[in-house]
Amino acid sequence: MKTGFKEHIGAAVLFILAIVISLNQLSNQVFLLASFIFVVSSVIPDIDHPKSIPRKIARALFFVLVLCASIVILLLFAKPEPVATLLITPSLALLIAFLLTFLFESTIPGHREELHSKMTALLFGLGVFLICLTSLPLYDSALFGIFTAAGYVFHILVDFIGDKI
């Protein structure tokens, strides 16, 4: 069976909903947010597939961020010639955004290679934990990190089961 975006989202929602209900955590906002993180993390590994929805979203976000940053930087360092700045800045910013997006795309490994591993899941969960730790309590940060890694591993498990069916 082919596992795609819908299958990963559907399986993750059903799985996490069963956990939330069985643990009676429907009113726990932190647990519900962690559950949302689990579902989102369950589709992140497919960022390595060129036609996947996560890859398209990542590509678009990267392009927009680079474009905006390029415009701001170019305007900050532009000479005070308004007409030339207004004509050159958008074109140059677009060129920079396209080039950096191409470089971003070329650094992503092939489908089901490095990004489909338990080690990557652990590193991703650890990264989320450390980022959350800068502004959240230890318990919440740990919960978000664990649910991130678990969602990532869940994706790999769904792929494994889907390949066997």
Cβ neighbours around 95 below 10 Å, total: 11
113-153 confidence digits (pLDDT tens): 778 889 999 999 999 999 999 999 999 999 999 999 999 99
State the pTM of this model.
0.79
DSSP string, 79-140: -S-HHHHHHHHHHHHHHHHHHHHHHHHHHSPPTTSTTSSHHHHHHHHHHHHHHHHTTS-HHH
Flag whether pLDDT at 84 surpasses 90.
Answer: no
The average pLDDT across 75-94 equals 74
The band of 112, judged by pLDDT with boundaries at 50, 70 and 90, is confident
The average pLDDT across 67-82 equals 80
The average pLDDT across 40-44 equals 93
By the 8 A CB rule, do 7 and 154 touch? no
Closest CA to 93 of 103, 101, 82: 101
Which residues have CB under 8 Å from 112's CB, separation 6+? 48, 159
Flag whether pLDDT at 77 surpasses 80.
Answer: no
Tell which wins on pLDDT, 86 or 55.
Answer: 55
The average pLDDT across 37-42 equals 94
Torsion on CA atoms 104, 91, 68, 86, rounded to nearest 10: 170
- Write down the pLDDT at residue 85: 66
SS3 per-residue string spanning 64-86:
HHHHHHHHHHHHHCCCCCHHHHH
The band of 88, judged by pLDDT with boundaries at 50, 70 and 90, is confident
DSSP class of 48: G
- Write down the pLDDT at residue 18: 93
Task: Say how far apart CA 14 and CA 6 lie, in whole Å.
Answer: 12
